[in-house]
């Protein structure tokens, strides 16, 4: 520490000690390791992802890496498909000396991970959680309102027979999206058929299973609202395979506005969740909090709300009957 103070010209070193250090530097021909200095002082933000096949992952990483460059910090990522794997990943990130960590769903709601981060003096940020906590900063959206607005849009098109595909029950946004759907249906005095509520896991494969359940019965819904775009894309594929024309025979809508929403045919009506901007905001917020913590102050917990947008495309239209 004394050598560092002398070489950087800082005070709090006596003249006698400064002369001794300079003499030792000259005798040893010492020069500082700039890479090591950079490594020890860099602000590091970590993240753990649970679903490498998610359409949202690319947008998340794009926003995070872009902001890490602008914020002058390093961004590190680890996989965590299960909570146990995520714990191992977080330990590796802690060993890499991160100052904060972003936890996307469903890890954003893991008390085990939140406690581990806080006990290790790492600042956690819950990303896209539907259950913001007083002790943890979060980037949040109103999943309830997004699902409510989408259901009301389908009702406004004339649909009365609407199916719904649930999200992963481990994700807090899943419950809020289903609650929004149910509230809109009840508000319009429409029946919610148990057979038209299909389980899903936010994966394309689970969307295939949901589509077979919803479209394989004697009576089919005229519209299906999937809790994310990956599952909506799977429903579209099954419908095409059955010879159904979208949206003439069946309207399909999703949630997120992931890249897949504008690459399938017809393009998907969905709720736009600005994942890239949310990831950018998360990295910026954590960078600020890490720097604040380094001054000895306790960073303020912040809950940042991002806006959702209903994006109308060709996959939704009025029912034929």
pLDDT of the chain along its 321 residues, tens only?
Answer: 455 555 555 556 677 766 776 776 666 565 555 444 444 568 999 999 887 777 788 889 999 999 999 999 999 999 998 999 999 999 999 999 999 999 998 899 999 999 999 999 999 999 999 999 999 999 999 999 999 999 999 999 999 999 999 999 989 999 999 999 999 999 999 999 999 999 999 999 999 999 999 999 889 999 999 999 999 999 999 999 999 999 999 999 999 999 999 999 999 999 999 999 999 999 999 999 999 999 999 999 999 999 999 999 999 999 987
β strands within 61-154, DSSP E: 73-79, 100-103, 123-127, 137-140
Report d(CA 141, CA 127) in Å as an integer: 10
Encode pLDDT of 75-113 as tens digits: 999 999 899 999 999 999 999 999 999 999 889 999 999
Say what the pLDDT of residue 74 is.
93
Residues 6+ apart with CB under 8 A from 272: 256, 257, 308, 309, 310, 311
Count, in order, helices (H) and strands (E) of the chain: 11, 12
The DSSP code for 248 is T
Residues 6+ apart with CB under 8 A from 104: 47, 48, 49, 50, 60, 127, 128
Say what the pLDDT of residue 36 is.
43
This prediction's pTM: 0.83
Strands 123-127 and 162-165: unpaired
- Pick from 223, 214, 108, 257: which is nearest to 168 by CA? 108
**DSSP letters for 12-42:** S--HHHHHHHHHHHHHHT----HHHHHHHH-
Determine the Cα angle at 64 with ends 263 and 46, to 5°.
130
Long-range Cβ pairs for the range 117-121 (8 Å, 24+): 117/90, 120/94, 121/293
Tokens read off for 299 = 């960073």
Residues 6+ apart with CB under 8 A from 87: 80, 112, 113, 116
Report d(CA 70, CA 67) in Å as an integer: 5
Report d(CA 183, CA 173) in Å as an integer: 15
Question: What is the edge-to-edge ordering of all strands in the sheet holding 162-165?
Answer: 197-198, 162-165, 223-226, 251-253
């Amino acid at each position: 520490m004394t050598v560092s103070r002398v070489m950087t010209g800082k005070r709090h070193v006596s003249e006698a000690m400064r002369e001794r250090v300079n003499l030792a530097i000259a005798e040893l021909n010492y020069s500082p390791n700039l890479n090591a200095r950079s490594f020890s002082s860099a602000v590091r933000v970590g993240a753990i992802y649970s679903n490498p096949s998610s359409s949202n992952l690319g947008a998340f990483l794009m926003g995070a890496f872009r902001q890490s460059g602008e914020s002058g910090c390093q961004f590190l990522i680890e996989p965590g498909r299960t909570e146990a794997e995520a714990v191992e990943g977080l330990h590796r990130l802690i060993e890499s000396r991160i100052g904060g960590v972003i936890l996307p769903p469903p890890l954003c709601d893991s008390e085990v991970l939140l406690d581990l981060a806080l006990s290790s003096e790492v600042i956690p940020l819950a990303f896209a959680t539907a259950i913001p906590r007083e002790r943890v900063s979060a980037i949040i959206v109103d999943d309830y309102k997004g699902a409510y607005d989408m259901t009301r849009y389908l009702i406004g098109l004339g649909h009365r027979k609407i199916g719904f595909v649930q999200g992963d029950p481990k994700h807090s946004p899943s419950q809020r999206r289903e609650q929004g759907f149910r509230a809109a249906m009840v508000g319009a005095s429409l029946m919610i058929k148990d057979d038209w509520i299909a389980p899903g896991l936010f994966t394309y494969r689970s969307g295939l299973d949901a589509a077979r359940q919803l479209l394989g019965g004697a009576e089919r819904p005229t519209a299906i609202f999937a809790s994310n775009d990956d599952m909506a894309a799977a429903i579209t594929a099954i419908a095409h395979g059955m010879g159904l024309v979208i949206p003439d025979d069946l309207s399909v809508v999703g949630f997120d506005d992931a890249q897949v929403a504008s690459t399938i045919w017809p393009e998907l009506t969905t709720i736009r969740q600005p994942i890239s901007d949310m990831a950018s905001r998360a990295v910026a917020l954590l960078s600020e909090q890490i720097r604040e913590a380094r001054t000895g102050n306790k960073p303020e917990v912040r809950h940042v709300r991002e806006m959702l947008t209903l994006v109308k495309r060709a996959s939704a239209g009025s029912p034929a009957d």
